[in-house]
Structure 1
Amino acid sequence: MNSFALHLMRHGAPQTPGLLLGHSDVPPDLDAMQPCLERARAVDFAQVLSSDLGRASSPAALIAAERAVPHHAGARWRELHFGAWEGAEPATLPTSDVGRFWDAPDENPPPGGERWSDLRLRVESALATIDQPTLVLSHAGTMRAALTLLCGFTYRQSWAIDLPYGALVSLRVWPETQSAQISGLVT
């Protein structure tokens, strides 16, 4: 089977940046969508997939319309669900709880939130449906999960890649092995 390009893009800044937004559907900052549109012009793709949350699906819909390619939004591309921490500023949460979560998110998920392994399972099932050049517009956690699955990175290694708002990571994916090689990194 042939390889294909997979471009992972983080949404632009939301109207309320710096919070643990997870599954919270906060609107995107309209000005912050522009860098996403500009970066998408530099890569080739046949479809756009995105999280169904507005901060990702809004710029994805604009990009797809500009390119005249299909856009499909779905919950599998959502950020990790932060449970009781949804919408919180990390500095306001108990330091020890947040530290345990960032150190071992599978063993210490946010109260009522999602485990890292559950996020990876969602992303794995979404990746399995891709077989053509694709732009995925989603969230930093989702992108990190994809990198652990496709590139073999550990959770900690995935944090070595800076993923600011609007970051774009381009990969070459070989479907028969579900492996990938980073072919470019644009931030």
Structure 2
Amino acid sequence: MSGILLHLLRHGITDAEGRLIGRTDAQPLAAGVQACVSRAAGLAVAAVVHSDRTRSSVPARQIAAVMSLEACEDARWRELDFGAWEGLSFDTIDAEALAAFQSDPAHHAPPDGEAWSALVARVSDALGTINRPTLVVTHGGAMRAALATLCALDFPQLWNIALPHAALLSLRVWPGTPRVGQIIGLVT
């Protein structure tokens, strides 16, 4: 079996640049939406899925319309909930707490925020429903959670993969338990 193609596309720039936004909704900027639409051009997929945040749903709907597909919402692809850090800029967060989170989010979740393991669990659950070539318009954290699940990467390795806005990560995924994936491309 040749596996299933899965494309993960990070949403484009928003009106909340420079701040931590997970559960918070942010409006996508036109340039960010266009960057996503351009990045997805030419992909051969049978489904377009997006998180329940506007910054993902707007470009996903435009991409799906170009592809004559329906965009399907799946909240499991939402970004990590940053709790008390939601909406804050990095320079306003306690540097020691932020460094602990960035080096080991599994043991240092944001105050009142979501644990890394919870994000990985819900993304892993969403991955279990992928059964055909699919484009998912999502968030950087969810993309890293997918890589942790499919490619068994640990967090230091995940931070070394640059996922700027409108980054497209393509994987070949094999069904089964556990699901296994192979990175076949990253366009930033």
* Range class of TM-score, shorter chain: over 0.9
Corresponding position of 2:116: 116
AA matched with 1:8: L
Corresponding position of 1:26: 26
AA matched with 2:173: V
Relative to structure 2, which stretch is displaced further, 110-119 or 69-78?
A: 69-78
How many pairs align? 187
Partners of 2:175 and 2:159 lie apart in 1 by 24
Q: Verify: 1:180 aligned to 2:175, yes or no.
A: no
**SS of match in other structure, 1:172:** strand
Q: Where does 1:101-180 land on structure 2 (aligned, <5 Å)?
A: 101-176=101-176, 177-180=178-181
TM-score normalised over the length of structure 1? 0.97
Relative to structure 2, which stretch is displaced further, 52-61 or 95-104?
A: 95-104
Partners of 2:159 and 2:104 lie apart in 1 by 13
Corresponding position of 2:97: 97
8 A contact 2:49–2:136 mirrored in 1: yes
Provide runs of 4+ in structure 1 moved above 6 Å.
none
Shift of 1:70: 2.3
Q: Verify: 1:35 aligned to 2:35, yes or no.
A: yes
Q: Deviations over 1:59-116 (max 9, x none)?
A: 0011011101121112100000000100000111111111111111121111110000
Report the aligned-residue RMSD: 1.1
Unaligned 5+ residue runs, structure 2?
Answer: none
8 A contact 1:45–1:135 mirrored in 2: yes
8 A contact 2:15–2:27 mirrored in 1: yes
Partners of 1:24 and 1:54 lie apart in 2 by 10
**SS of match in other structure, 1:183:** strand
Shift of 1:169: 0.6
Partners of 2:74 and 2:9 lie apart in 1 by 15
8 A contact 1:49–1:137 mirrored in 2: yes
**SS of match in other structure, 2:101:** helix
Corresponding position of 2:5: 5
Shift of 1:2: 5.1
Corresponding position of 1:44: 44
Partners of 2:156 and 2:136 lie apart in 1 by 22
Partners of 2:18 and 2:73 lie apart in 1 by 24
Shift of 1:17: 0.8
Corresponding position of 2:14: 14
AA matched with 1:141: G
Partners of 1:52 and 1:87 lie apart in 2 by 18
TM-score normalised over the length of structure 2? 0.96
What percent of counterpart residues are identical? 47
